[in-house]
Amino acid sequence: MDHFELKNGALYAEDVPLAAIAAAVGTPVYVYSRATLTRHARVFREALSALPRVHLAFAVKSNPNLAVLKLLAKEGYGADVVSAGEMHRALAAGMPGADIVFSGVGKTGREMAEALDAGLGQFNLESEEEGVELAAIAAVRGVVATATLRVNPDVDAKTHAKISTGKSENKFGVPYDRAAEIYARLSVMPGLMMRGLAVHIGSQITDLEPSRLAFAKMGDLMRTLREQGLSVTHMDLGGGLGVPYRVGETLPGPAEYGAMVAEVTRDWDATIMFEPGRVITGNGGVLVTEVIRVKPGAVNPFVVVDAAMNDLVRPAMYDAWHDFAAVQPTGERITANIVGPICESSDTFAMARDVDAVVAGDLGVFRTAGAYGATMANTYNSRALVPEVMVDGDKWAIVAERIEPATILAAERVPEWL
């Protein structure tokens, strides 16, 4: 459910016509709906209300925009960060350090030190080596780092290979069979307070069974550790719940996910932590674009839009589907290829797709672009870095300005010896 709807024949974000934003800011532009983001944050929390103790850490990587983080901070969310850059964003948005979890397979010593200085709540360790290093950095500072051990449960999340993280060949976590001995060794290190386990098997998960299996395995491991006299008070179950990208697609939603988690974890007696990203932000944003021209093709016409793979990389990178719709649909339909202006064939949003008929100058949107959209944008082909807007009822504001190619050029230098 989202708040991008047709009103009197034109597409709106809440009470603001998308055409008005496009006219003022230009295109391409991401537009987020505050009401949609808030709704998703509440629905996810509500879905977990049967659990006695819950910590919600929004996966910043899915949408790190400061205004989005501020909204989620107000909803009581902490953050899951994977770099010092993300950590500083979460702190800048007002999230308390104690509510921030530091994930990621390549935290540098410097990042760990910065995180300790910021009073970060939890490090999700991805290896014994990382734990040893963190313990040493903490000891030098005279503090104790709170940590969990991320375990690779060797479960196939049945999602796209590039966003699957829980199989043994993936780089994430420690092997399930070695986790107990590593946890035991890390638990006695001065400078480190091991308080639990973490798992995350992938993203855009549309079948709950792999997660159920992975969580059950984590429960078994938790019991093994406790039997050995080791303390486990926190269990971080990661993120990964998928969202519908196509009209009419039905997937297990937060309620089904919450029920599954409640069932698996019912006798855990631990704080259950979550790192949702896409399920909060995915449907909360669209990418607005203008049709540059329609060019005849061998089979179907090419609708060339002014958004490109640098603005929304998911179709090029993961063959991802984003629904396309006209901002002012006429009711007519065409079968077309939708492409951007970038000089490679991967700059294709859709092939032979049945879409609203559009002509040069028309506006269109790619839907469900709030997660892994703007955050993965780049400036390939010396294009601008795409701006972001947030709508709230009949108000709207630019929440990230367009970074023009001239600004990027101005940061480059030609050495005097050239």
Interface with ligand LLP by CB under 6 A: which residues? 59, 61-62, 80, 103, 163, 165, 200, 203-204, 238-241, 275-279, 314, 318, 371-372
| Catalytic machinery residues | 343
CA distance 144 to 326: 55
Rounded to the nearest whole angstrom, what is the least distance from the CB of residue 352 to ligand LLP in the complex?
A: 23
> Taking the complex as a whole, how short is the minimal distance between the CB of residue 383 and ligand LLP, in angstroms?
19
User: 365 or 377, CB closer to ligand LLP?
Assistant: 377
Q: Are 287 and 250 in contact (CB under 8 A)?
A: no
Cα gap 145→162, rounded to integer Å: 31
Q: Which is nearer to ligand LLP, 32 or 372 (CB)?
A: 372
Cβ distance to ligand LLP smaller for residue 144 or 320: 320
How far apart are CB 278 and ligand LLP at their closest, in Å?
4
Which is nearest to 5 in space by CA: 37, 33, 28?
Answer: 33
Closer to ligand LLP by Cβ: residue 219 or 276: 276
What's the min distance (Å) between Cβ of 57 and ligand LLP? 8
Give min distance, CB of 298 to ligand LLP, in A: 30
Asked whether 333 and 354 are in contact (CB, 8 A), the reply is yes
Closest approach of ligand LLP to the CB of residue 252, in Å: 14
Cα gap 266→44, rounded to integer Å: 18
Nearer to ligand LLP, 329 or 340 (CB): 340
**Minimal distance in Å, beta carbon 149 to ligand LLP?**
13
- Residue with smaller CB distance to ligand LLP, 25 or 125: 125
Alpha-carbon distance of 115 to 110, in angstroms, equals: 9
Instruction: Choose between 275 and 306: whose C-beta lies nearer to ligand LLP.
Output: 275
